[in-house]
Amino acid sequence: MNKRAFRVIFFLLILAVLGYAFAFHTNYFKIKSIKVVGNQILSYNDIKEISKIQAGTNIFKVNPKQVEKNLLENPYIKECKVKILYPNRVEIFVEERRVVAQVRYKSDYLKIDKEGVIVEKGSFAPGLLLIEGIKVERYQIGKKLNGNFDKTLLSKVLGLIESKSNYYALRYIKEDEVELLSKQGINIFLKNPADVNYSFKFAELILKDLLKKGYKSGKIEIIGDGNAVFMQ
């Protein structure tokens, strides 16, 4: 190796050492800001604790994929993304699961989102939709009630009523049969509808009309592509 090549290598090594010292031993790259976007259920401090990121940590020591893995271990977090903004900021974007119903398990109740994912176990929650007709033998927080949940009519209807408050229970009868129990006393029975969204909206229009006419009990049945039938 000639002297010129040696000097170049030596110079590069010095730059590397200085760069390392600057990156890891100065305050310039220490995290000063952790921003959380999209949270409504979990608090800022909850997410910060779950992420395991601490202010003052060197930003080069933060592994975004590991942080995302930490976050996804919490059942309330459905999706997340971590962005490193050099020199000293971190942004965490989260999409949370919202509890829309509860299912009885022995003396407790499993709280689930519209996809059937179990978010937590607790006591009965008044005002939260109760799913009847399902017997839970075993469960795991963060997993679905069962592997076939997405294939049932129950899942589709649950997604349609997640923001509605006029139903107190959703009764599972069979894979393609469910009954919605309304607080007004008139229930909706659906069996193998070709278009679940259309059938449900149609049934709700009939329900609204019946309530205006003073009916306080009965059942609206829609079977397959057939017409709706009201029975008292």
Residues of the chain with CATH 3.40.50: 99-231
Q: Is the CB of residue 178 less than 8 Å from the CB of residue 154?
A: yes
More confident residue, 128 or 2: 128
Looking at residue 13, its pLDDT comes to 59
3-state per-residue secondary structure call for 111-165: EECCCCEEEEEECCCCCCEEEECCCCCCCCCCCECCCCHHHCHHHHHHHHCCCCC
Instruction: Please state which of the four CATH numbers 3.40.50, 1.10.150, 2.60.120, 1.10.3470 is assigned to the domain occupying 99-231.
Output: 3.40.50
pTM for the complete prediction?
0.84
The two three-digit tokens of residue 112, written as one number:
């689930």
User: How many whole angstroms separate alpha carbon 158 and alpha carbon 150?
Assistant: 11
Looking at residue 196, its pLDDT comes to 92
Calculate mean pLDDT across residues 96-118.
Answer: 95
The number of CA neighbours under 13 Å toward the Cβ of 113 is 16
- Give pLDDT tens digits for 193-209: 989 999 999 999 999 99
How confident is the prediction for the chain on average, in pLDDT? 88
Residues of the chain with CATH 3.10.20.310: 27-96
Q: What fold does the segment set 27-96 form as a domain? A: Ubiquitin-like (UB roll) (3.10.20)
Looking at residue 213, its pLDDT comes to 93
- Give pLDDT tens digits for 129-148: 999 998 888 999 999 987 66
Give the confidence band of 18 by pLDDT, cuts at 50, 70, 90: very low
Q: Assess whether pLDDT exceeds 70 at residue 41.
A: yes
- Give pLDDT tens digits for 78-98: 999 999 999 999 999 999 999
